[in-house]
Amino acid sequence: MKQDCKICVICHLYYQNLWPEIKNYLSNLTKFSNFDLYVTCNSSNQELFDDIQNSFNTSGKVNIDIIENLGADIYPFIYELNKINLDDYDILYKIHTKRNITSRREKINKCLCGANLWRDFLLNAILSENNIPILIKKFKENKKIGCIGFEPLLMKISDNSIDFLYEKCAQNLGLKKLNNYKFYCGTIFAMRPKLLECLQYKYNSSDFLNKDNHKFPTMCYLTENILGYLVEAQGYEFYDLHPIQSFIIKFFSLKSLSFFFIPIINKFFFKKYTYLWIIFGVICAFLYKGITLGSTNESYALFFSKYLADKFPALCHEGDKTVVFYPYAVIIIVLLVFVFALLHFFEKSFSEKKFLMLFSIIMIGVCVLNVIPGTVFFERTYIVREDLVKEMEEINNYFRENNITDSRVAFVAVSPYDEYSRVYDTYFDGENNYEINNENIVNIIAKTSGTTSVDKITFNDIIDGKEYNIDRLDYIICSSESEENIGIIQDFTKVESISKKNYSVYKNINAYEIKVNRRLFFKLNAKSVCI
């Protein structure tokens, strides 16, 4: 249903091949309001111009200008701005064929938006079929709103560049000085037209001529910044149509999650095809098998699912059989979809204040569900026996008192994450500690001779598999559960004074060599050696 709203669209088509995409967005706008379209191009293309005219001449006036290739998208905007009567319009759209060709994984204002995704974010925020009626409504109801765009790309400036912007531009436009200001990276937004009156007839093509190496970028970027500066300088506000979506996109960007996931979020949040949520949920139900624990001091996200898996194993697997999906995964996905559906409903029905309060309560509840079982698991993981701590402290003191803390020390344990290893990692202060897999070191030695020079051995880190070399191996520290492995390595003498019930220390007679007992080699099991 079309609304009584006078709209002006100023569009710069530098990349003319992107017109079909721009056309689709403008077609969304025709469903809600008539508008006048002002298009600028750097070169003539009659076929393109005919398509522009034929597509939108029934929605309002269509004007096409061919201008010099100056000032990126800024000068074309200024050019059209100088031609129109701003009093004729309620809302002005500034759009262009924004294209990032420098990187496919670039972060702009801490938001991951490489290549075409930058343009998609900006255009969807103001010209998607879902957002257009909300945007028009907000401009009508809230007279303090001055500009609406994609909030994650709303750059906030609060440094010395403010003085430069004010002296070179803002002061000349009659704008007051601000302590900080904002502008949309990419200069695609919807604005209250009267805010742009200060820019009319102030600049022309000569101001954007590339006469030297500095004037072009300075004038271009100053004007880009002033397009945001003038909003708050005239007592108006920026407005975020979808604060929850903005938060989630920022979250995924900051956490550097899969770049593939960002455009999916983009489509879900800014396109009308809400059924994609259902499809996505079904896919997740088939893919999600539970969480994988790494370091226990990491995020507790979805930790409640581990609690369910531990308490109700029948929901999570069928013995040793391979299953297509886990029932509890389906339950979790259904609950999440239900929660997001409720949030979507309440966002449209409630006031912003009430909705944010509701969202906060739900998120706090989810956090509690994660933190409680996570904290219990965390405590269980990091609690260690006092006798282990006492023995390792004695070993550490021995190395200190004998001034051998710079020795190359190997720690042998069943697992790099067992109780013995955790105590060693925390209470032993050696300066040269490395981590490798026992199977790796023995296989390397077995390929040569019984006696091998340490510096000729390439070790692999037990955690990440990275290769490295060391020049010597002075000591081995082993737990009681792994001491049997020491028998494969000869010429190590036990340091009886600090070898106790839980830990033993062995000194290498020749620190630059390792000898292997061939007879015991094939008895070796796959236990871990941390060097």
In terms of pLDDT, which residue wins out, 3 or 161? 161
Extents of the domains making up the chain:
7-242, 274-382, 386-530
**Does 240 have pLDDT greater than 80?**
yes
Per-residue burial over 458-468, b = 16 or more CB atoms within 10 Å of its CB, e = otherwise: ebbbbeeeeee
- Answer whether 0.75 is exceeded by the pTM: no
Spatial neighbors of 277 by CB under 8 A, at least 6 apart, are 268, 337, 340, 341
What 3-state DSSP class applies to 265?
Answer: helix
| Residue reference for tokens 């710069």 | 12
Q: Write out 503-528 in H/E/C secondary structure.
A: EEEEEECCCCEEEECHHHHCCCCCCE
Q: Which structure tokens are listed for 456?
A: 């000729």
Task: Give CA–CA dist 527/303, Å, rounded.
Answer: 29
Helix (H) or strand (E) holding 467: strand 467-468
Residue range 81-99: average pLDDT? 91
Structural contact between residues 474 and 508, judged by C-beta atoms closer than 8 angstroms: yes
| Residue reference for tokens 């002296």 | 167
Determine which of 48-57, 60-69, 157-166, 173-182 has the lowest per-residue pLDDT on average: 157-166
Structural contact between residues 358 and 468, judged by C-beta atoms closer than 8 angstroms: no
Helix (H) or strand (E) holding 409: strand 408-413
- Cβ burial of 244 (10 Å; 0-12, 13-18, 19+) is middle
Tell me the DSSP string of 55-104.
Answer: HHTTTS-EEEEE--S-STTHHHHHHHHTTS-GGG-SEEEEEE-----S-S
Going by pLDDT thresholds of 50, 70 and 90, the confidence category of residue 170 is confident
DSSP letter at 174? T
Residue range 213-229: average pLDDT? 73
- How far are the Cα atoms of 390, 462, 479 from residue 527, in angstroms, in the given order? 25, 11, 12
Q: Which structure tokens are listed for 122?
A: 């900006």
SS3 content of the chain, % helix, strand, coil (to 5): 50, 15, 35
Q: Which structure tokens are listed for 212?
A: 């030297």
DSSP letter at 169? I
289-322 per-position pLDDT tens digit: 666 665 666 666 667 666 666 666 666 655 545 4
Task: Give CA–CA dist 95/48, Å, rounded.
Answer: 17
- Average of per-residue pLDDT values in the chain: 76
Task: Give CA–CA dist 26/9, Å, rounded.
Answer: 9
Structural contact between residues 500 and 385, judged by C-beta atoms closer than 8 angstroms: no
400-441 per-position pLDDT tens digit: 899 888 888 888 777 777 888 888 888 888 777 766 655 565
Q: Where does 7-242 sit in CATH, by number?
A: 3.90.550
Structural contact between residues 486 and 527, judged by C-beta atoms closer than 8 angstroms: no
Structural contact between residues 95 and 188, judged by C-beta atoms closer than 8 angstroms: yes
